[in-house]
Amino acid sequence: MLWDWQCTYWEPEPGNPNGGGTVLLGVAWYDPAFFADRRDAWFGAMHQRIYQQLGIPLEDITVTHWSLIA
């Protein structure tokens, strides 16, 4: 396995009449070369279509990468 999504969760936004919130997609990448190649997949055409279908503007998306040196 080169990656997994086991750390993905949703935080509701209290008081939002539309039921909004924040989705945190915690992806663990296990192969540095695969990560280097795919690290910007969140901005690809497929993901952008999903964001559009969900009504999520690109300016509302934040992506941060961390590296664990063990």
Mean pLDDT of the chain: 88
| Whole-angstrom distance, CA of residue 36 vs CA of residue 9 | 24
Q: How much is the pLDDT for 70?
A: 76
pLDDT at 22: 87
Q: Provide the pLDDT for residue 33.
A: 92
Q: In the prediction, which pLDDT does 68 show?
A: 83
Taking only the tens of pLDDT, the chain with its 70 residues reads 777 877 888 899 999 888 888 888 888 888 889 999 999 988 999 999 988 998 889 998 999 888 888 7
Rounded-to-integer distance, Cα 45 and Cα 26, Å:
20
Residue 70 CA to residue 68 CA, distance in Å, equals: 6
